[in-house]
Amino acid sequence: MKEKWPFINAVESHIYKNEISWPKISIVTPSFNQAKYIEETILSIVNQNYPNLEYIIIDGGSTDGSKEIITSYQQHLKYWVSEPDKGQVDAILKGLKNCTGDIFNWINSDDMLAEKSLFKIASAYLANKGVKIIAGGCTHFNQELAENQTTLVRDLTFKGLISEKSYFQQPSQWISLSKIKKLNIDSKLHYSFDWGMILNFELEKSDILYLSDNLSYFREHEDAKTSKASLMFQHEKLEIVKKYQSKTNNLSKKIMLSGYIFKLSNYLKVMDQLHKPSKITFKNFLALGLRCPHLFFVRFYLGHLKKLAVEKKN
């Protein structure tokens, strides 16, 4: 419906006041063959009418009409290119090299910004200059936008990530550009690089400002990367954490990471066994649980253990 967001303009009445020096917001959209969604993504950014926006699109050489859509909005872009790349992370890093703003995020070509979100982010930045991340709500949706499905980002601290008490919503996590440019991001990662990036920031509570506003919309559909590869996310997390542990000299963090590595390793052993064509025995599956007792509180583990027990009995 063209009379709804993102097809309508969103303008705050005082956003163009000359006495306000709005921070530059840099946004990169990585894309490949997303003609079905990319126009909504672009409109959700340009229809913010934010006065100090630096918008870059890195397309991986699409052949589905995406380039024609991007071209129709090129007057709103600082830079765009369509050429083969090595995937999402490579595209984001290409775009990042061209960014010169104060605040940064990437918005994937199937997601959208919420109405007036850039104004809210910029206002929060001006009022809290020392923060490294500004985070808010993210609404997951299929075809229709539904505000009642909004999840607020929570506890992005190092401890929060490792204890799995954080709520992680990438399109609603806006980062200091100078902070992210200091990181050495591994372009070979494909699934959990954003989680690893936040982990390597080593954030304390004072580094993060949490807003109660919804800032973005995350589209759930069959082709979405997160819908297809949940196990790969966990395998990459394990790789990231092991690498981090090997380089840190902080003893308390090493201990915390050891516990997380043990827990995640055993979880992945269980999941890998479930996906193997060869059948695991009840004895071996029970042994995995005894090595990692938290699995006895996980429904899928208990369900499969019960199933194996019944089969063993029969």
pLDDT tens string 154-207: 999 999 999 988 888 999 999 999 999 999 888 888 889 999 999 999 999 999
Non-local (6+) Cβ contacts of 262 within 8 A are: 292
Interhelix angle 193-201/230-247, rounded to 10 degrees, is 30
Instruction: Identify any residues that bridge with 167 across adjacent strands, giving them in sequence order.
Output: 154
Q: Which residue has the higher pLDDT, 260 or 284?
A: 260
| pTM confidence score | 0.86
- The confidence score (pLDDT) of residue 227 equals 43
Average pLDDT over residues 17-30: 89
For the segment 131-165, what is each residue's pLDDT rounded down to a tens digit?
999 999 999 887 665 555 788 999 999 999 999 88
Question: Pick the residue with more confidence: 144 or 268?
Answer: 268
Write the pLDDT tens digit of every residue in 213-239.
999 999 986 665 554 477 888 899 999
Cis peptide before 6 (omega within 30 of 0): yes
Q: Please tell me the distance from the alpha carbon of residue 96 to that of residue 90, in angstroms, as a whole number.
A: 10
**CA-to-CA distance for 81 and 66, rounded, in angstroms?**
12
Domains, the chain, with CATH or none: 25-228 (3.90.550.10), 230-313 (no CATH)
Among residues 125, 150, 135, 129, the alpha carbon closest in space to that of 50 is found at 125
Q: Which amino acid is at 157?
A: T
Q: DSSP per residue over the chain, as a string?
A: -TTSTTSS----TTTT-TT--PPPEEEEEEESS-TTTHHHHHHHHHTT--TTEEEEEEE----SSHHHHHHHTGGG-SEEEE---SSHHHHHHHHHHT---SEEEE--TT-EEPTTHHHHHHHHHHH-TT-SEEEEEEEEESSS--GGGEEE-B--SHHHHHTT--B--GGGEEEEHHHHTTS---TT--SSHHHHHHHHHT--GGGEEEEEEEEEEEE--TT-HHHH-HHHHHHHHHHHHHHHHHH---HHHHHHHHHHHHHHHHHHHHHHHHHSSSPPPHHHHHHHHHHSGGGGG-HHHHHHHHHHHHHHH-
State the pLDDT at residue 224: 58
Q: Is the CB of residue 301 less than 8 Å from the CB of residue 268?
A: no
What is the rounded distance in angstroms from the CA atom of residue 149 to the CA atom of residue 147? 5
* Residue 25 token pair: 């917001």
* Mean of per-residue pLDDT scores for the chain: 88
The C-alpha atoms of residue 62 and residue 84 are separated, in whole angstroms, by: 8
- Residue linked to tokens 């992945």: 268
Phi, psi of 80 (to 5 degrees): -150, 155
Residue 261 CA to residue 241 CA, distance in Å, equals 7
Determine whether 232 is exposed, middle or buried from the number of CB atoms within 10 Å of its CB (0-12, 13-18, 19+). Answer: middle
Question: Contact 217/139 with Cβ under 8 angstroms?
Answer: yes
pLDDT digits (tens, 9 = 90+) for 100-110: 999 999 999 99
Q: Which is more confidently placed, 27 or 8?
A: 27
CA-to-CA dists, residue 56 to 77, 95, 105, 300, angstroms:
6, 6, 11, 42
Strand partners, 106: 28
